Structure 1
Amino acid sequence: MIYELRVYQALPGQMAKLQTRFKDLLPPIWKKHGIHAIGFWTTLVGESSNQLTYILQWESLADLETTWAAFMNDPAWHKVRDEGERDGPIVANISSEILMPTAYSALK
């Protein structure tokens, strides 16, 4: 297994829209593609309280690449994105890191 750590910096005033996207709109699309989220977090104390962080679990880099490409090309995702950003973008920045668990990690 590998894990993808994704951090979304919401534009000012857009965190509620971003959270609605991930809480209500994306789960059925992700389920269709076999995308498995480990968890979601907001920043309580840190550099920015306007961040949404989540971790995805993947079988391999190949799994990540093919599954993510299929999701990104899905018309259902395009509809969610376009409707959510009808009045303008809601995300300022997205960062992504691919993580490999150590031998002593609770997640393997």
Structure 2
Amino acid sequence: MIYELRVYHCVPGRLPAVLNRFETITLGIWQRLGIRQAGFWTTLVGSSNQTLTYLLAWQSLAERETKWTAFLADPEWIQKRAETEKDGQIVAHVVNELLTPTRFSSVT
């Protein structure tokens, strides 16, 4: 199993828009495409309270490439993303890492 750690650094004040987009749009598209999320978090204490951190679970790098490419090209996603950003950008930048569990990790 491979986990993808993604941290969305939001434009100030736009975290609620990102959360709403995930809850009402993105997760439904992911479900249709077979993309599995392993959890979502907002920052309670840290360097910024304008971040969304989440994990995706992949069987392989090939699965990630196929499904993530399909997501980025999905007509519904393209349309809905544009609609949610009609008043301006909501994510300033994204940090992305692909992780593999250690042999002693509680997740596999």
TM-score for both structures, normalised by structure 2: 0.98
CA-CA distance at 1:80 after TM superposition: 1.5
Secondary structure of residue in 2 paired with 1:30? helix
Does structure 1 residue 12 correspond to structure 2 residue 12? Answer: yes
Query: Residue 60 of structure 1 aligns to which amino acid in structure 2?
Result: S
Q: Please name the residue that 2:32 is paired with.
A: 32
Write the distance in 2 (CA, Å) between the matches of 1:107 and 1:79: 35
Does structure 1 residue 84 correspond to structure 2 residue 49? Answer: no
CA-CA distance at 1:71 after TM superposition: 0.6
Query: Residue 50 of structure 2 aligns to which amino acid in structure 1?
Result: N
CA-CA distance at 1:13 after TM superposition: 1.4
How many percent identity over aligned positions? 50
Secondary structure of residue in 2 paired with 1:32? helix
Write the distance in 2 (CA, Å) between the matches of 1:12 and 1:106: 35
Secondary structure of residue in 2 paired with 1:5? strand
Gaps of 5+ in 1: none
Query: Residue 106 of structure 2 aligns to which amino acid in structure 1?
Result: A
TM-score for both structures, normalised by structure 1: 0.98
Secondary structure of residue in 1 paired with 2:104? coil
CA-CA distance at 1:79 after TM superposition: 1.3
Gaps of 5+ in 2: none
CA-CA distance at 1:24 after TM superposition: 1.4
Q: What do you get for the CA RMSD once the two structures are aligned? A: 0.6
Secondary structure of residue in 2 paired with 1:101? coil
Query: Residue 66 of structure 2 aligns to which amino acid in structure 1?
Result: T
Q: Which runs of 4+ in 1 moved over 3 A?
A: none
Cα displacement string for residues 33-86 of structure 1 (whole angstroms, at most 9, x for unaligned residues): 100001100001111110000000001011101100001000011012100000
